[in-house]
Amino acid sequence: MRAAFLVDQLKETALPLNFKHAISNLRLTFEYYHSIFQTSLSGMKGVETTDNSYGLHLVRNLRNHVAHGVFPILDNPEYWGSSEISRTKLIALLFHACRVAALYIQALLHKYNDGFQHDDYDHIASMDWDDCYEEHFIKNCTVDLSLSLHSKCDFSFENPYGYKC
CB 147 within 8 A of CB 17: yes
Q: Pick from 112, 139, 155: which residue ends a domain? A: 112
> Residues 156, 78: one domain?
no
Give percent of the chain with pLDDT exceeding 70.
61
Q: What long-range pairs does 71-79 form, CB within 8 A, spacing at least 24?
A: 72/37, 79/37
- Residue 132 belongs to domain spanning: 115-165
**How many beta carbons lie within 10 A of that of residue 39, not counting itself?**
16
Bigger pLDDT: 122 or 40?
Answer: 40
> Residues 105, 119: one domain?
no
> Residues 15, 83: one domain?
yes
Give the Cα separation of 80 and 88 in Å (integer): 11
Report whether pLDDT(165) > 50: no
> Residues 39, 65: one domain?
yes
What pLDDT does residue 109 have? 85
Give the Cα separation of 66 and 54 in Å (integer): 19
Q: What is the DSSP string of 73-110?
A: -S--HHHHTT-HHHHHHHHHHHHHHHHHHHHHHHHHHH
User: What digits encode the pLDDT tens for the residues 99-131?
Assistant: 999 999 989 988 887 766 666 666 666 766 666
> Residues 8, 72: one domain?
yes
The answer to pTM > 0.95 is: no
How many Cα atoms occupy the beta-carbon half-sphere of 144 within 13 Å? 6
CB 85 within 8 A of CB 39: no
Name the residue type at position 136. Answer: H
Give the Cα separation of 141 and 124 in Å (integer): 11
What pLDDT does residue 82 have? 52
Q: How many domains does the chain have?
A: 2
> Residues 91, 158: one domain?
no
User: What digits encode the pLDDT tens for the residues 70-105?
Assistant: 888 766 556 555 555 577 888 899 999 999 999 999
